[in-house]
Amino acid sequence: MVCANHGGIPELLAVGLLSSGWGTMLNKPKEYGPHWEGFAERYGVRLTGLSTGNAMEAGLGALWGEDPRYFPSPTRGFGPRVKYVIRSSFVALHRDGRFHPAYARFAGNVRNNVLSNRWRVPSENGLGSAALRILWGVAEDMGGNAHTEFWPDVKRKVLRRR
């Protein structure tokens, strides 16, 4: 079984830059302002939260025998692969060689987003904002899985590269 990591430096930079740029363009949250300093604040807050969540997932995953990496689908066909991408956002490979619920991923995502309320500005540090960030975290994980699953095909077929 071949494994691929997602959430690496290129994706971290790309998603972080897009997210921070979008927030700066819309000036959300307003406390940071619509300027370069505001962009840097948004990027920094996102990066610290992501780092905290990843550290929690890695640490707990090591204790609990969970492998956080994404393993490409063993099946072919678009539909089955999409289902696999979604499913893989909620399960992790364990020491026994089988997939189980990804408890370390859940704990890292929830705990990081609740904990990050401590350093976020008042307009985005409530439980509702944390819940929304948790959902975005799941969506980003699915997006990373989809990228890892389908990018080699897109690159080969559309860009004519190996």
| pLDDT tens string 10-35 | 566 777 888 889 999 999 989 999 99
Q: What pLDDT score does 9 carry?
A: 60
| Domain count for the chain | 1
Distance CA 133, CA 20 (A): 14
Q: Which structural domain, as residue segments, surrounds residue 58?
A: 9-157
Q: Is residue 50 part of a domain?
A: yes
Q: Is residue 1 part of a domain?
A: no
Q: Is residue 3 part of a domain?
A: no
Q: Is residue 147 part of a domain?
A: yes
Distance CA 5, CA 11 (A): 11
Locus of tokens 């905290």: 52
- Rounded to two decimals, what is the model's pTM? 0.80
